[in-house]
Amino acid sequence: MSRPVALITGGGRGIGAATSKRLAEDGYDILLTYNTSSKPAEMIVQEIRSAGWDALAVKVDCADSGEVGLLAIHPWMARGIDVLILNHGSYERIAADEMTLENLRTTMATNFEGSVAVWKAVQPHLTPTARMVVVGSQLGTKGSPHGADYSASKAALSTWARSLAQAVGPEGKRVNILAPGFVDTAILAGDSNEKRAEREELVPLKRVGTPEDMAGTISFLVGEDSKYITGSILHVNGGLYLP
């Protein structure tokens, strides 16, 4: 019980899984959430425990107020939450000119409103110097012709997080935004070899990012070396997009 606690939404796959493992290595006990797939989450928990640390996986649909409410009374909340990583999200490729209001509402409910709901639930349990990282996207700044709802949700999320950083800064808490570019996660799983080569050619560093690349940046943002950084959007994309 001496290790601080990091809560990671969507912590069982992709960037969330890599972050769960990295923060466990950094000295945190990990409370991770999943929604639809318990097996990957439990595998991450087992991997962390096999290394001698502690982790738990809990089922939370962040768009469901009831499930978020149960998270708020989880026994580990009594330990205090030192790090909160809002990483969960959904992305459906829908052309901007074909997007319906229902598409937009569904995506906003998960990616934006769900993140705010989790933060509201966890807020009473945050330690005085808690650090929060919101996983946004480059698309939240530049937009996307085939993901307008996703881009809008990430833009809202980033702007809310920057506003929150200003509000909680005087308390000693920090909030930052990670904005990935192309990352080798489920979003790109359907790429053909030709599409993957096309993506790599677009990136100045000539490769798609890894979940571990993102986890390393998150580790920095919650660590002491970034103690004077808050309200920042850190674009981690190999030079693909330079706002």
Active site residues: 150
**How far is Cα 29 from Cα 88, in angstroms, rounded to an integer?**
19
Quote the CA–CA distance of 84 and 216 in Å, as a whole number. 15
Q: Which two tokens stand for residue 155?
A: 């833009």
With the C-alpha atoms ordered 50, 53, 56, 57, is the resulting torsion angle positive or negative?
Answer: negative
Six-digit token string for 49: 């425990």
Residue 47 makes CB contacts below 8 A (sequence gap 6+) with 21
Rounded Cα gap, residues 31 and 15, in angstroms: 15
